[in-house]
C-alpha cells in the first residue's frame, strides 16, 4: 500500500503528462489555504491592537 | 445539563475561551493528517486504470466539494438557531462561514475544471452538477456582499438567515443532480448506503484528506468567527479582560 | 419550547416549504431540458430537427471504432438502441471502446456528425493490475 508509485522523482513530477494538472491544482489549493490563514491572522492582530488602544 | 452546556457555549465569551483552548490541537492534528494523506495519495497510491495519474486530483477536489456543501448546511443550521432562539453567536457564525464557503466552492470549481481537461477533454460544460455548484458559489458571494451593504448588523443578520434557509434547497439539488439528470459528471463514488466504488488503496488517503481538510477549514472558521466576535462585541466589558 | 419560538419555527418551515415547492415546480417543468445529453433511445423517441445542434451520450460500442486519417467513426449505444457517429478531429485520451462518451453535433440520415467529442468516465477507481486480476 505504501509503495512509491513512480520510478523516479522526475517521473513523479511529470506523471505521464498529467503532472501539470495535478501539481497546478496542488499549488492553487495550498496557495488559497495559506492566503486565507494569513489574511485572518493579520486581521485578527489588527483588531486586537485596535481594542488594546481603546482600553 | 446539556441545556446548561449549550447555553454556556452560546455565549461569545465562553465560546472564545473554549475555542482558544482547542484551536492549536485541531490545527496541528489536521495539518499533519492532511499533509500525510496528500503525500500518500499523490505519490504512494497506484494510478487509476482508466484515468492514469490525473485521478490524483481527487484528493484535492473531493474534500473541497464536500466542504463547500457542508459549510452551507452548517450555515443553514446556524440560521435556524438564530431565527428561533436569537442566539447571537449563531449570527456571527453565518457571516464568518460565508467567505470560507465561497473559497472552498471556488477551489472545488477550479480543481474540477483542471481535472476535466485531461479526462473529459473540456474544462467547462453546463451540466447539472457543475452549474448547480456555480450557483452555490454565486450564492455565497451574494450573501457576503449583502451583509456588507448593511450598516445595521441586526437587520443584516436576520435577512441573511432567511436567505440562507431559502437557498438551502440548492444543496440537495447539487447532491442529487448526478442521479436525477444525465450529466457529464460521474455519480458519487462514496455513499452512505453502498460499498464505495473506489479501491481501498485509493480510498484510505481520500478519507484522510477529507478529515484533514475538514479540520483545517474548521480552524479557519474558528479564527474567522473570532474576528466577527471582536468586531461585534468590542463594546462589551469582558473583551477588555480578554485582550 | 416557548410559544413565540414555536411560531418562529413554523415560519421557517413555511418559508422553506414554499421555496422547495417553487423550485421543484421549476425543475419539474425544465426536467428534460436539464439533461445534459440525449441517449440513443431518447433520440429514437424524439423527433429532432436535422440542423439542430444536440448532445448525445452513451457507451462506445466495443469493436466499432474505425480510424481513417483524422476521421474517426464509432457507434454510441445504451445497449438498447445505438447510433453511428462520425467525427473529424482529436478525441480525448480517455476515449476508449466500452467507455462513456458525449458528443455534440447534428443528426442527418441516422448518422451523427459530431463537432466535439468528450469522454465520460464512471465512478469506479481501481489500480490497473487489480483490474486484470478481476478479469481473469
What letter does residue B54 receive in the DSSP assignment? G
The predicted structure's pLDDT at residue B58: 95
C-alpha cell at C112: 451523427
- Give bridge partners of residue A13 from the DSSP assignment: none
Residue B76 falls within a domain, yes or no? yes
CA-wise closest residue to B165 among B71, B77, B84 = B77
d(CA C54, CA B70): 35
Element (H, E) at C6: helix C3-30
Instruction: Look up the domain containing B76 and give its range.
Output: 21-187+198-234
Facing B182 at nearest CB: one of C8, C57, C91: C57
- Give bridge partners of residue C84 from the DSSP assignment: C75, C111
CA-wise closest residue to C46 among C56, C59, C61 = C56
The CATH class of the C36-120 domain is mainly beta
Residues of B in contact with C116 (CB under 8 A): 122
Residue A1 falls within a domain, yes or no? no
Instruction: Tell the residue number behind the cell numbers 455548484, with chain if given.
Output: B133
The predicted structure's pLDDT at residue B238: 81
- Name the domain count of chain B: 1
How do residues B47-84 score in pLDDT, each as one tens digit?
888 898 999 999 999 999 999 999 999 999 999 999 99
d(CA C62, CA C82): 12
Share of chain B above pLDDT 70, in %: 99
Q: What is the mean pLDDT of chain A?
A: 91
How do residues C55-106 score in pLDDT, each as one tens digit?
999 999 999 999 888 889 999 999 899 999 999 988 888 888 888 999 999 9
- Whether the per-residue pLDDT at B243 is higher than 70: the answer is no
- Name the domain count of chain A: 1
Number of H helices, E strands in chain C: 3, 6
ipTM over 0.85: yes
Q: Give the chain B residue whose CA is nearest to the CA of C16.
A: B166
Indicate yes or no: CB of C130 within 8 angstroms of CB of B49: yes
Instruction: Tell the residue number behind the cell numbers 484528493, with chain if given.
Output: B59
Q: Which of C59, C125, C128 to mutate to test the interface with B (most CBs of B within 10 A)?
A: C125
Q: Between B and C, how many residue pairs show a Cβ–Cβ distance under 8 A?
A: 124
Measured in angstroms, the CA of C133 and the nearest CA of chain B are apart by 12
C-alpha cell at B37: 494523506
Q: Which of C36, C54, C57, C98 to mutate to test the interface with B (most CBs of B within 10 A)?
A: C36
Average pLDDT over residues C22-42: 87
C-alpha cell at B198: 473506489
pLDDT band, residue C135 (cuts 50/70/90): very low
- Whether the per-residue pLDDT at C136 is higher than 60: the answer is no
pLDDT band, residue A29 (cuts 50/70/90): very high
Residue A28 falls within a domain, yes or no? yes
* Cα separations in angstroms, C22 against B117, B169, B240, C31: 36, 10, 49, 14
Indicate yes or no: CB of A4 within 8 angstroms of CB of B115: no
Measured in angstroms, the CA of A27 and the nearest CA of chain B are apart by 11
The CATH number covering residue B135 comes to: 1.20.120
Tell which wins on pLDDT, B27 or B48: B27
d(CA C9, CA B84): 6
CA-wise closest residue to B75 among B7, B26, B142, B28 = B142
The predicted structure's pLDDT at residue A24: 96
Q: Is C8 near chain B, with CB under 8 Å?
A: yes
Indicate yes or no: CB of A40 within 8 angstroms of CB of B43: no
Measured in angstroms, the CA of C111 and the nearest CA of chain B are apart by 22
pLDDT band, residue A22 (cuts 50/70/90): very high
d(CA B81, CA B190): 30
Element (H, E) at A8: none
CA-wise closest residue to B69 among B179, B183, B173, B196 = B173
Indicate yes or no: CB of C12 within 8 angstroms of CB of B55: no
The predicted structure's pLDDT at residue B107: 97
Average pLDDT over residues B100-129: 95
Amino acid at each position: 500500500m505504501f509503495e512509491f508509485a513512480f520510478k523516479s522523482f522526475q517521473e513523479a513530477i511529470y506523471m505521464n503528462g498529467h503532472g501539470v494538472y495535478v501539481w497546478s491544482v496542488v499549488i492553487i489549493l495550498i496557495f488559497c489555504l495559506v492566503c486565507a490563514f494569513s489574511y485572518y491572522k493579520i486581521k485578527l492582530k489588527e483588531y486586537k491592537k485596535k481594542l488594546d488602544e481603546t482600553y | 445539563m446539556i441545556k446548561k452546556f449549550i447555553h454556556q457555549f452560546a455565549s461569545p465569551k465562553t465560546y472564545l475561551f473554549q475555542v482558544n483552548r482547542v484551536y492549536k490541537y485541531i490545527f496541528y492534528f489536521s495539518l499533519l493528517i492532511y499533509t500525510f494523506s496528500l503525500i500518500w495519495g499523490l505519490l504512494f497510491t497506484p494510478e487509476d486504470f482508466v484515468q492514469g495519474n490525473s485521478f490524483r486530483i481527487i484528493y484535492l477536489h473531493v474534500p473541497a466539494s464536500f466542504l463547500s456543501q457542508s459549510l452551507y448546511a452548517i450555515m443553514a443550521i446556524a440560521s435556524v438557531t438564530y431565527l428561533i432562539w436569537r442566539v447571537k453567536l449563531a449570527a456571527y457564525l453565518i457571516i464568518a462561514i460565508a467567505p470560507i464557503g465561497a473559497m472552498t466552492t471556488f477551489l472545488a470549481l477550479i480543481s474540477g475544471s483542471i481535472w476535466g481537461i485531461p479526462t473529459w477533454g473540456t474544462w467547462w460544460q453546463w451540466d447539472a452538477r457543475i452549474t448547480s455548484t456555480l450557483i452555490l458559489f454565486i450564492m455565497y458571494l451574494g450573501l457576503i456582499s449583502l451583509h456588507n451593504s448593511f450598516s445595521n448588523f441586526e437587520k443584516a443578520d436576520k435577512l441573511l438567515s432567511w436567505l440562507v434557509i431559502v437557498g438551502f434547497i440548492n444543496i440537495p439539488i447539487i447532491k442529487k443532480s448526478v442521479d436525477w439528470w444525465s450529466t457529464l459528471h460521474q455519480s458519487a463514488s462514496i455513499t452512505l448506503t453502498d460499498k464505495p466504488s473506489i479501491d481501498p488503496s485509493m480510498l484510505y488517503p481520500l478519507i484522510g484528506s477529507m478529515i484533514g481538510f475538514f479540520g483545517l477549514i474548521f480552524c479557519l472558521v474558528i479564527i474567522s468567527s473570532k474576528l466577527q466576535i471582536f468586531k461585534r462585541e468590542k463594546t462589551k466589558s469582558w473583551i477588555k479582560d480578554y485582550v | 419550547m416557548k410559544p413565540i419560538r414555536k411560531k418562529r419555527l413554523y415560519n421557517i418551515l413555511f418559508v422553506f416549504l414554499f421555496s422547495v415547492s417553487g423550485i421543484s415546480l421549476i425543475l419539474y417543468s425544465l426536467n428534460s431540458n436539464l439533461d445534459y445529453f440525449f441517449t440513443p433511445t431518447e433520440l429514437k423517441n424524439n423527433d429532432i430537427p436535422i440542423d439542430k445542434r444536440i448532445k448525445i451520450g452513451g457507451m462506445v460500442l466495443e469493436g466499432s471504432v474505425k480510424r481513417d486519417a483524422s476521421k474517426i467513426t464509432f457507434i454510441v449505444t445504451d445497449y438498447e438502441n445505438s447510433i453511428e457517429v462520425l467525427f473529424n478531429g482529436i478525441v480525448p485520451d480517455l476515449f476508449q471502446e466500452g467507455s462513456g462518451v458525449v458528443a455534440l453535433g447534428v443528426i442527418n440520415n441516422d448518422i451523427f456528425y459530431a463537432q466535439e467529442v468528450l469522454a465520460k468516465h464512471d465512478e469506479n477507481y481501481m489500480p490497473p493490475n487489480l483490474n486484470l486480476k478481476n478479469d481473469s
